Amino acid sequence: MEALTGLLNFLDSLMGSAQYFPFVLLGTGIFFTIYLKFPQIRFFNHAWRIVKGKYDRKEDEGDATHFQALTTAISGTVGTGNIGGVALAIYLGGPAALFWMWMTAFFGMTTKFVEVSLSHKYRSKDEEGHIVGGPMYVMERRLNMKWLAVLFASAVVISSFGSGSMPQSNNMASGMQATFGIPTWISGLVLAAALGFVIIGGVKRIIQVAERIVPTMAVLYLIGALSVIFMNIDQIGPSFMAVISDAFTGSAATGGFLGATFAYAFNRGVNRGLFSNEAGQGSAPIAHAAAKAHEPISEGMVSILEPFIDTIIICTITGLVILSSGVWTEKFENDFQSFDMEIVEGTYTDTNERDRKALFEHLNFSDEDTVVSYSGTIEVTAGVPDLMALTVIHNRSIAEDVHFHVDGAPYSGTIEVVDGSVSTEVSARGRSLIHSVELTTVAFTRGYFGDFGKYIVSIGLMLFAFSTAVAWSYYGDRATTYLFGLKAVLPYRIAYVVGFFIAAIADTSLIWLLSAVTIGLMTLPNLFAMLMLHGEMKETIKEYWDNFKKENPDGV
């Protein structure tokens, strides 16, 4: 198991976690944006008219309307990344991270436009006559690269468990237990049964559920977010200013936040932006391929709206809730995760400018780092450690009121520390910065709904995560059909539901790591196919507008 984990980490370091990856992904979006003359701006209004059905024809082939395809794809992208991912980006990179999420979404609108248009153009039909499509069909039918198509489709199947089923189930079950006290196995069982009802019903039921759940969850989340934004309306202007002014300089220290470099903000913002809207990953084209349309470009235009809704609207709202409420700089009582905790030599405080600067250099891996990780022993009495000339760092902040316990009881004795990490089997708790869903949850309590705001986040998280699981089951379903035919679909759906339940009660970190690798195996071949067909893409756009002008001489 250790060897397998090491191999997966190595493979991930070569792809999704490699330094070049965000530049390649963002660079592809920038290239097509310039090459196609900013289609995300030029075609934006036209896209809304297509979604409304203005240019529909009765004879158009497909299993979904433009709106249904859009909501299915959005249900796959609007998930925990919109609630916890934004909070994680701000926690790591400060307000500037939100700016780089915007940039990623802006160029991602073009990336999505290209990948969806090409997949729609080369879609096919399965044995039952249903429309099927996605990058694998582009790779096989246009590029004659069956091996690459099989690699991509295999990665989709694996990633459907690692991106769609297991993490979503784990997050939902944990959230229900933390907020409502519901045991994880009960949440897992009920939600798995609901998921099974949806996906066993087939493609049309998946599309119908997505069509209803996406608007519902968006409205609910928006109401809770606006209650915080209007409660802290005087901080909205300064929040926007911080996002823009820090974009190219990094974010300075404030409160418990010790600051972040430009490189860190850029990396975290781009990373979270890509995770949020999935532009270039090749997943959304599978949903859009089912849309009824006689022109592939028209469905590509619809997909332009995805990153706009997912990142520029929903992620921005989440970011403003966190920034305007001020919770991102505050310390809260929380359980310390060992991998986020470090004990260093010396006494540091975040009220001292020199201390903040020293810890800033340490946390951002600077060559000027002078902070020394502690190795040795610490005496603990009734849970309270003797930290004479030592400082505990947790969640990139100076921890306060730290205490250790074992099975809930205060610990007394000696703990061993090696290179800053506690090696003794004890748990720690104290006050520090928080991040991810926990940070967003606290932010939602700073509005007109007060503590009730956390329930909005929990319910929103459940709906977001459930819709993501539904959408990814569809992606895996179509990829399974491509690889093995319709006979393999039912076994896949059963395995998907079983995996969803298991993830609610078990540690599934290995499948998540495997998913990180498969996301790279999806994205890189997909970007390759897009770039190979850049000339054809421009020609297809020209053909669309030539035909459109013939059919609509008035230009609308």
What is the SS3 string spanning 23-61? HHHHHHHHHHHHHCCCHHHHCHHHHHHHHCCCCCCCCCC
Angle between helix axes 509-532 and 534-551 (nearest 10 degrees) is: 70
Mean pLDDT of the chain: 88
Q: Is residue 418 included in any domain, yes or no? A: yes
Residues 168 and 249 in one domain: yes
Instruction: Categorize the per-residue pLDDT at 532 as very low, low, confident or very high, splitting at 50, 70 and 90.
Output: very high
Judgement on whether residues 458 and 484 belong to the same structural domain of the protein = yes
In a domain, 57, yes or no: no
Q: Are residues 378 and 521 in the same domain?
A: no
Q: Is residue 512 in a domain?
A: yes
Q: Give pLDDT, residue 136.
A: 96
Helices (H), 86-202: 86-93, 96-121, 135-141, 146-159, 166-180, 184-200
Q: Are residue 180 and residue 240 in the same domain, yes or no?
A: yes
**pLDDT tens per residue, range 291-305:** 888 889 999 999 999
Q: CA-to-CA distance for 500 and 192, rounded, in angstroms?
A: 6
User: Is 498 found in the same domain as 384?
Assistant: no
Chain position carrying tokens 């019903």: 201
Pairwise CA distance, residues 491 & 421, whole Å: 44
Cα–Cα distance between 304 and 39 in angstroms, integer?
9
User: Which tens digits make up the pLDDT trace of 325-376?
Assistant: 999 999 999 999 888 899 999 999 998 999 999 999 998 878 888 999 999 9
Any bridge partners for residue 405, and if so which? 410, 427
Q: Do residues 319 and 340 both lie within one domain?
A: no
DSSP 256: T
Q: Give the number of residues written for the chain.
A: 556
Domain boundary among 368, 402, 432: 432
User: The domain containing residue 262 runs over which residues?
Assistant: 2-46+63-330+443-541
Q: How confident is the model at residue 217 (pLDDT cuts 50, 70, 90)?
A: confident
Query: Do 223 and 309 share a domain, yes or no?
Result: yes
Considering the entire predicted model, what is its pTM?
0.86
Report the pLDDT value the prediction gives residue 431, as an integer from 0 to 100. Answer: 96
Model confidence at 555, in pLDDT bands (50, 70, 90)? low
Determine the pLDDT at residue 80. Answer: 65
- pLDDT at residue 79 in the model: 67
pLDDT at 116 over 90: yes
- Please indicate, yes or no, whether residues 366 and 418 belong to a single structural domain of this protein: yes
Residue 392 lies in a domain: yes
Domain boundary among 402, 432, 462: 432
pLDDT for res 287: 86
Condensed to tens digits (0 to 9), the pLDDT of residues 77-87 reads 776 667 777 88
Residues 447 and 427 grouped into a single domain: no
Q: How far apart are CA 533 and CA 524, in angstroms?
A: 14
- Amino acid letter for position 425: E
Tokens standing for residue 98: 């939100």
Residue 487 belongs to some domain of the structure: yes
What 8-state DSSP symbol labels residue 367? T
What confidence tier does 510 reach under pLDDT thresholds 50, 70, 90? low
Residues 173 and 274 in one domain: yes
The span from the CA of 530 to the CA of 119, in Å, is 10
Domain of 33, CATH number, reads: 1.20.1740
Q: Is the pLDDT reported for residue 508 higher than 60?
A: no
What is the tally of structural domains in the chain? Answer: 2
Confidence at residue 512, expressed as pLDDT on a 0 to 100 scale: 64
Co-location of 228 and 341 in the same domain: no
Do the beta carbons of residue 436 and residue 84 sit within 8 Å? yes
Q: For residue range 390-436, list pLDDT tens digits in order.
A: 999 999 999 999 999 998 899 999 999 999 999 999 999 999 999 88
The domain boundary, picked from 376, 398, 432, lies at 432
Output the CA torsion sign for 418, 419, 425, 430.
positive
